[in-house]
C-alpha cells in the first residue's frame, strides 16, 4: 500500500525543541533537590508528593479508559465496518505498528473526536454526531477527522507530552506546541482526504447539517476582519488554532513534506 506523504509544521519542531530543553533543565533541578535533601524526612515528603501527583494523573486517565471500555461502542470489522475500514486504511498508510482501538460515544450533540494513549495502547474516540454525518452524507469529512486523530498517534504527541510534562508549567509554551501539532495533523488529514479537509473543519464550526451551507470565503473574510486583544488572547491560551486559520493554512504548502517510512524530522 502506498505510504502517506504529509507536511510537518515547522513550529512543531521548534516548540518541541524548546520544551525538551526546558523539561531537561527542570528534571535536572528536581534531581538536584532530591540529592540535596540530606534529611530523610524531607526526602520522604518530596517522594510522597511526587507519587500522589503521579497516581492522581494515572487514576484519572484510567477512569476515562475504563468508562470507554464499559460504556462506549467499540468500532471493528463487525461494528460500523465502513468506519473501521477507514481507520485500517489510514493506519496502514501512516505505517502504524498496530491499528488503534476505536470507540464511539454519545456526547450530547458535541462534534468532536480525540486520540489518547494508556499503558502503551493507543485509542481514538469518535463522538456519535460526527459519525452521523458520514452515514447521512457519505462525504469525506469523516476520513479527514479520523486521519487527523491518527496523525497524533503517528507523531507520538501523547508520549511526547508526557515526557515534556515539566515544561507545561511555562506559560503559553505547551499550548503553542499543541497548536502547532494540530496544524501538522490537519496536514495529515489533508493528505489522506483532500476532498474532506475543509468540510471536516466546517463540521466542527457549524454542525453536521449547517456546514454544507457555510459560505467559506465569507467565513474566512469575516474572521480576518475580527481583530482585538481578546481574540488573540483566547487563541494563545487554547490548545487549538482558530478554525479559520486552520482552513487557510491547509491551502498553503510552506512546510517540509515527508513520506512515511523515510527519515523523520526532529521531534518525529
Domains of the chain: 5-23+73-259 (3.30.2010.10)
What pLDDT is stored for residue 117 in this prediction? 94
User: pTM of the entire structure?
Assistant: 0.87
What pLDDT is stored for residue 257 in this prediction? 40
- Which stretches of 37-154 are DSSP H helices? 40-71, 81-94, 128-137, 141-154
DSSP secondary structure code for residue 2 in this structure: P
Decide: residue 262, CB within 10 A, 0-12 exposed, 13-18 middle, 19+ buried.
Answer: exposed
The CA distance from 113 to 103, in Å, is: 10
Q: The cell 486520540 sits on which residue?
A: 115
What pLDDT is stored for residue 264 in this prediction? 30
DSSP secondary structure code for residue 261 in this structure: T
Per-residue pLDDT of the chain (268 residues; tens, 9 = 90+): 678 888 899 999 999 999 999 999 999 988 887 777 666 676 777 788 888 988 998 999 999 999 999 999 999 999 999 999 999 999 999 999 999 999 999 987 778 899 999 999 999 999 998 888 777 666 788 999 999 999 999 999 999 999 999 999 999 999 999 999 999 999 999 999 998 899 889 888 888 888 889 998 899 888 888 889 999 999 999 999 999 999 998 876 444 343 333 323 323 3
Q: Is 255 helix (H, G, I), strand (E, B) or coil?
A: coil
What pLDDT is stored for residue 47 in this prediction? 80
What pLDDT is stored for residue 227 in this prediction? 87
Q: Taking Cα atoms as reference points, which of 42, 2, 1, 9 lies closest to residue 151?
A: 9
CB contact set of 25 (below 8 Å; sequence gap of 6+): none
CB contact set of 31 (below 8 Å; sequence gap of 6+): none
Amino acid at each position: 500500500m502506498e505510504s502517506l506523504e504529509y507536511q510537518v509544521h515547522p513550529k512543531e519542531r521548534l516548540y518541541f525543541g524548546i520544551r525538551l530543553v526546558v523539561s531537561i533543565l527542570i528534571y535536572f533541578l528536581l534531581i538536584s533537590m532530591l540529592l540535596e535533601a540530606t534529611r530523610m524526612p524531607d526526602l520522604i515528603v518530596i517522594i510522597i508528593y511526587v507519587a500522589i501527583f503521579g497516581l492522581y494523573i494515572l487514576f484519572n486517565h484510567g477512569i476515562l479508559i475504563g468508562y470507554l471500555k464499559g460504556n462506549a461502542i467499540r468500532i471493528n470489522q463487525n461494528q460500523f465496518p465502513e468506519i473501521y475500514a477507514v481507520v485500517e486504511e489510514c493506519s496502514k498508510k501512516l505505517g502504524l505498528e498496530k491499528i488503534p482501538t476505536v470507540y464511539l460515544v454519545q456526547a450530547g450533540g458535541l462534534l468532536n473526536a480525540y486520540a489518547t494513549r494508556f499503558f502503551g495502547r493507543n485509542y481514538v474516540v469518535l463522538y456519535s454526531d460526527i459519525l452521523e454525518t458520514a452515514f447521512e452524507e457519505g462525504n469525506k469529512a469523516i476520513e479527514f477527522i479520523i486521519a487527523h486523530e491518527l496523525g497524533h498517534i503517528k507523531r507520538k504527541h501523547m508520549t511526547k507530552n508526557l515526557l515534556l510534562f515539566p515544561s507545561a508549567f511555562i506559560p503559553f509554551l505547551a499550548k503553542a506546541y499543541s497548536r502547532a501539532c494540530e496544524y501538522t495533523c490537519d496536514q495529515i488529514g489533508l493528505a489522506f482526504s483532500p476532498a474532506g479537509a475543509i468540510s471536516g473543519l466546517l463540521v466542527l464550526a457549524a454542525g453536521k447539517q449547517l456546514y454544507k451551507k457555510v459560505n467559506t470565503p465569507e467565513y474566512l473574510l469575516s474572521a480576518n476582519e475580527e481583530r482585538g486583544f481578546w481574540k488573540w488572547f483566547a487563541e494563545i491560551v487554547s490548545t487549538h488554532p482558530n478554525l479559520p486559520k486552520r482552513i487557510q493554512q491547509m491551502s498553503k504548502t510552506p512546510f517540509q513534506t515527508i513520506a512515511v517510512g523515510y527519515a523523520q524530522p526532529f521531534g518525529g
